Amino acid sequence: MGSLAFAWRSLQLRQATLFAMDSDQALSLRTSQRQPEGAGTSLRRPENLFKKIPTFAARIAKSAPFFTLMQELFLTDQEIQRRDELRRLLDLGIDPYPAEAFPVNTEAQAIQGTYTEGAEGFEDLALAGRITSKRIMGKASFAELEDQSGRIQLYFNRDEICPGEDKTLYNEVFKKLTSLGDIIGVKGYAFITQTGEKSVFVREFKLLSKVLRPIEFRKEVDGKIYDVLTDTEQRYRMRYLDLILHPEVRETFRGRTRLVKAMRDFLDAKGYLEVETPILQPLYGGAAARPFKTYHNTLDMTLYLRIANELYLKRLIVGGFDGVYEFSKDFRNEGMSRFHNPEFTQMELYVAYQDYEWMMDLVEEMVETVALAVHGKTAVPVGEHVIDFKRPWKRYTMYEAIEAYTQIDISEMDEAALRGVCQQLEIEVDDSMGRGKLIDEIFGETVEPHLIQPTFITDYPVEMSPLAKKHRSKPGLVERFEGICNGKEICNAFSELNDPLDQRARFESQLELGKRGDDEAMVLDEDFLRALEFGMPPTAGLGIGIDRLSMIMLNQPSIQDVLFFPQMKPEAKAKVDSAATFGQAGVPAEWVAPLIKAGFPTLAALAEANPNKLHQELCGINKKYKLGLNNPKPDEVVGWVTAAG
C-alpha cells in the first residue's frame, strides 16, 4: 500500500473511531490510564499529556485541550514527523504560520520565460510557493519551488542566508525542519547555473506555512512518471491536493474561466444586460426536472432551489429590457453521472423581437468565438474526435433525425404507436410517459449518441416543449432547437411562447402528466401567467450548459473534471465499535484505541484475533507511542478475544 493510500485509510479509521466515541469516552481514554503507585493525577491534565507525547508543542495543547491520545495514535509516521518539526520550530521561536504579509513581485514562469544571463530587473526578486524537492549538499543546497505559474530552482548557500555566527536558519530550519509541500517565501536574484538551469540565488527565506500531512509530488524517473494521486474518487474529494499535485488540472479550470469570460464579453458587446434572479423560488419552473425543496422558517413556507431561471428572465423582458442574460447556478434533484451533477451552471439569454432562427445564428457565432478564445482555433480535440465549431453547423428537424437513424417515420404517430416503436427498438419506457417523453426517449437512444460534430435539431413536437411558441407553418410542432455536440445536448432554445392563454393550456397539460406520475412535469405558475397578460414581445430564448460545453472545449471525459467540487456520494467510513461495545468483552477503555490501531476495530474482528500475536502487538504500540499504560497480561487478552466471540 502506497503512503498516500495508507494515509487515506488511516484518516478513514481515525474519523470513524472518533465518530464512534462520544466526548466523555474520548476524554476517558486520556484520563483513565492506569498509573503506577504514587504517580498522582497530574497526567490527567492535557498539557502534561503532551509532555508524554513530545511530538506536540505546548501551544497546540493549550489551543486544543480536548485533543486525545486517540488522534496521536492514528497519525502516520510522516504526520508524526511533521508535528515534531512543528514543535521544534516553535521551540526556536519561529512561527510556522506568520500573520504578516510576504509581498511577491514575480512568479516562476516570469523568470523561466524572460530571464537571460545579465538581464536587468532580476536583481531583487521576491516569490513564494511550495517546496517540491530538496537536494542537501552540506553548506549549499538546491530546492525547487512551485507557485501558481510553474516551477523554478532555488539555490541556498549557508553563509549567504546566515552571514553571522548563528547558522540555525540554514542548518536546522531549512535542512531539517522544512518538508516537501511547505510554503516558503524567498528573496534573491536570478542566475543561470553551470548546467544551464535558470535559478534564484536565495539571500533570504521565510517559512510561511508548515504542512502537517505528507505531500508526494509527481516524479519522473527514466522517462516514467510516478503519480501517487491517481484514484479518481480521491482526486474529486480532495480537490485541493489534486490541484497541488497536478498543474494540468489547474490549467483546466483556467480554461473554464476563459470560456466564461469569452461568452460574457461576447454578450456584453451585443449590448445585453447581465442580471441576477432568485435561487430560492416559491414555485419551480422553466424546465422539466425534479427540484430540491427547503423551508423558510420566518415566512412559514416551502421554497425550491431553482431548476432554471427562465420564467424570471422572461418577466424582465415583459418589464422592458430587450436583452438579458444570467450565468446561473441551477439545481436538479436527479441522478448523477459523468454528464450530470445536481448543481450545475448554465447561461440563459433572452432577446426581444427575435426568433429561434436568429438565435441559431447567434449560438454558432458565440460558440465559435469561445473556441477561438480558449484554443486560438475552431477545431478542438475531444477524445478520439476533432470537433470543429466553425460556422455553419448541420441542421435537422427532430423527425428527420429520427427517421435518418431508425428508418421509421414517427411524425404522425400517437402515443400508442410510439410505445410500439419503443418496444420494437428495445427502449425502456413506463406508463407515466406521454407522447413527448416517448419521442424524447427514442431520440436520446437512437440519434443523440451519433451526433459528434455540432448539430442543431429543430422543430420539436409541442408535447415536448411547454414554453415554446407553436411553429408558424408546421401544425403540432414548436419553434425550438437543441445544439448537440459529441453526443450530448449543449444548448436549448425557443421562439418563446408569449400567448398567455396558450401558455395556461400548456401548463394544465403538464399538470395532467403530473397526475399520471411524471415527477418532472412542470407546475402552473400564476404569477408568470399574470406577467404574460401584461404583454411580452416576440422573444428568442437560449439556455447553454457551461459545464457540458467546458467538458468538450477542454477535452475532459467527465463533468466532475470541470467542477472544482462535484457532488459526491457519502464517503465510506470504516466500521468501528464504540468503547462501550468493547467494554462488553471486558476491554478497558484505555485499550480500545490501541486495539483499533492494531487492526481490530470491531468485536467481530477481535473474536478472530490470535491472542498471543495481539498481546505482542499491543505491547509494541504502548511502547512506540509512549502511551504510559501498564501492559495487559496475556491471559487478559485471551479473555477479551474469548468474550468477543
Domain residue spans of the chain: 3-91, 108-209, 221-245, 252-393+453-562, 579-644
DSSP state at residue 391: S
Question: Which three three-digit cell numbers place residue 216?
Answer: 508526494
164, 368, 452, 482 from 396: Cα distances, Å: 79, 20, 14, 10
- CA 133, 138, 144: angle at the middle one, nearest 5? 20
Q: For the stretch 56-71, what's the b/e string if a residue is b when 16 or more beta carbons lie within 10 angstroms of its beta carbon?
A: bbeebbeeeeebbbbe
pLDDT score, position 36 = 36
Decide whether 108-209 matches 252-393+453-562 in CATH topology: no
Domain 252-393+453-562 in this protein, CATH class: alpha beta
* Rounded Cα distance, 93 and 87, in Å: 10
Residue 31 banded pLDDT, cuts 50, 70, 90: very low
| 519/497 Cα distance (integer angstroms) | 23
* Superfamily for the 108-209 domain: Nucleic acid-binding proteins (2.40.50.140)
Task: Give the three-state DSSP class for 188.
Answer: strand
**pLDDT, tens only, 190-202:** 999 999 999 999 9
Amino acid at 113: G
Model pLDDT, residue 463: 83
pLDDT of residue 18 exceeding 70: no
C-alpha cell at 617: 502487538
Interval 485-501 mean pLDDT: 94
How much is the pLDDT for 123? 95
Please give the share of the chain, as a percent, with pLDDT higher than 90. Answer: 72
Q: How many CA atoms lie within 13 A of 31 on its CB side?
A: 15
Q: What is the Cα–Cα distance from 629 to 591, expressed in whole angstroms?
A: 9
pLDDT at 10: 53
- Angstrom distance (rounded) from CA 204 to CA 189: 10
- Dihedral sign, CA of 25, 31, 36, 37? negative
- Before 454, cis peptide (omega within 30)? no
State phi, psi for 142 to the nearest 5 degrees: -120, 150
- What pTM was estimated for this model as a whole? 0.82
Residue 358 C-alpha cell reads as 436568429
**321 to each of 275, 397, 495, 530, 536, how far by Cα in Å?**
11, 31, 17, 18, 10
How confident is the prediction for the chain on average, in pLDDT? 88
144, 136 Cβ separation under 8 angstroms: no
- What's the pLDDT tens digit per position in 454-471? 999 999 988 888 888 999
pLDDT at 151 over 60: yes
